[in-house]
Structure 1
């Protein structure tokens, strides 16, 4: 049966600025894909990321380039050969999962042999600001089980200590977004240990991380920008203790699950992360989150208004989307 593919740019205003070492966001800029077949519609979403050479325009162009194949019936396996890992493939892959679920009448959870998603603890992000403002933000969510602290190379110790003081019971992830160098990582080791940080995420640029293979960190170090797909693990496993699976990097739920399982087989810790996105980007990621040690899926938490029927956030937990929303 023929399909109809539609792809567009959607923008979701944020309720407050999202500031990290790489810059500031005031809106989530996403690509939304719909695949219609026989009166049924599958949906997917992706966030093109400039760090990986992507833009809204480039992602839409990639999707357009495979339109004929997708509309002719290409499945997820064929898609993996048509497009490289990245945002464009993610939007299409997740739309295919959703469409398959509706056409076959078998939900994604059932297809994977799993129960339906349940509420799961997610990191709530404390973005870069003054230590006082970061402490105030942490105090507002101090009862959440997990917080992620965004830092850069400008007095990160002050920020981390401020958040820890405001949220003494929360587990902490520190994320410099590649803004540190080797000297700073080594200098910050005592502060991370002092503050009981659970995980240090991608402290140095992915292109300058070879030295991590010989570094004995007091805190586990998680790869983010350094790992996209399962094939990256041959290098990453020697340098990091854990990996952050993001569907936008992996190119969809299909490769995201493959990366998660491959990481587990190597004894690596596992995080599921996201870009700043709507619930349509989070719903598929929940199927990786259930496999993970740490979950960071608070993208929609930052939106002024999310897609109707999406996930909800309560007390540091992400609650699954309403039935029929996706998958």
Structure 2
């Protein structure tokens, strides 16, 4: 039996973070990504993903999951077939984005035109302040206080002091907060009140996914956004009385195909949209830019947190992020 040579290759890549990046679940000093590349007819399409330990993903397992699709890709795997073949996960994201990039290059169309979407334009991205002591966060915030939108990582005990210190250091910036599931039923209302007092616009995922029912039982003084609680369209219905917005990340949805469908469905249900990212290179950010015309909040600062980005990366001017050139993706 003759084996079919696959046009799919995948690899793990590592990019150092400038300093370290800290959230409630820990710190890291490098972004570990997995890249899928599909070649056909002299063209190559790429997609990048970031395996997330929160969902039991590792770079090695993600690489293996992508490589397990080699025969399917060789036999003409389509994006539509991919959605039915793999569950939403980082591996599917890399493959979905690689297939779109390949189709875009082969058809000489930009990805948004190919997908029937509006062309993304430059927009303002949030810039992340890592979790630390109130004093250290204030010092980091002073350096970023010129940015119009800051995303503040919180982590539980001491959060009211952290957000007060950040607000004092950046009196003119719009603030959004990400608790990364670190709050509890006993601290929820106190922390929300502290954020409201600091003029915070939005709080992401204050309670653990699966234990967030209290959000439907209290008066929420500011908008609350689902992150770990939302993955794809099947997640939405149970969130309607708990959240005001949803954070759409391609590694959760398993690619831009489902991400766009999720955004459309969320809009119909009245949710605001945040387009978010993991700490990754511009190759991860580029397809997510297709969501920005639908988004109230854009959080695509991953490359700004790295010591170096990949070649042909997105252009950033301060907090303004510009859509990808075709040499990068789509």
Whether TM exceeds 0.5 here: the answer is yes
Indicate whether 1:282 and 2:274 are aligned: no
CA 1:211–1:32: 2 relative to 1, 3 Å: same
Contact 2:183–2:207, Cα closer than 8 Å, also in 1: yes
CA 1:177–1:170: 2 relative to 1, 3 Å: same
Alignment partner, residue 63 of structure 1: 66
Please identify, of 235-244 and 115-124, the stretch whose mean Cα deviation from structure 2 is larger: 115-124
Indicate whether 1:160 and 2:156 are aligned: no
Indicate whether 1:203 and 2:206 are aligned: yes
Q: Distance in 1 between matches of 2:8 and 2:117?
A: 29
Superposed displacement of residue 115, structure 1: 4.8
Cα deviation, 1:91-139, whole Å, max 9, x if unaligned, reads: 0000011001011111112223445432211110000122122112111
Give runs of aligned pairs for residues 131-210 of structure 1, distance below 5 A.
131-210=134-213
Superposed displacement of residue 3, structure 1: 5.8
SS of the aligned residue for 1:35 comes to: strand
**TM-score, normalising length from structure 1?**
0.97
Cα deviation, 1:165-193, whole Å, max 9, x if unaligned, reads: 11111111111100110121111232111
Moved over 4 A (4+): none
Contact 1:149–1:174, Cα closer than 8 Å, also in 2: yes
Q: Distance in 2 between matches of 1:137 and 1:303?
A: 16
Q: Distance in 2 between matches of 1:49 and 1:123?
A: 21
Candidates 2, 7, 11, aligned match of 2:14: 11
**TM-score, normalising length from structure 2?**
0.96
Unmatched runs of 5 consecutive residues or more in structure 1:
none
Q: Distance in 2 between matches of 1:129 and 1:234?
A: 35
Give runs of aligned pairs for residues 108-119 of structure 1, distance below 5 A.
108-119=111-122
SS of the aligned residue for 1:282 comes to: helix
Q: Distance in 2 between matches of 1:197 and 1:15?
A: 26
Please identify, of 197-206 and 53-62, the stretch whose mean Cα deviation from structure 2 is larger: 53-62
Superposed displacement of residue 215, structure 1: 2.1
Q: Distance in 1 between matches of 2:282 and 2:66?
A: 21
Give runs of aligned pairs for residues 7-46 of structure 1, distance below 5 A.
7-46=10-49
Q: RMSD of aligned C-alpha atoms?
A: 1.4
Q: Distance in 2 between matches of 1:294 and 1:154?
A: 27
Unmatched runs of 5 consecutive residues or more in structure 2:
none
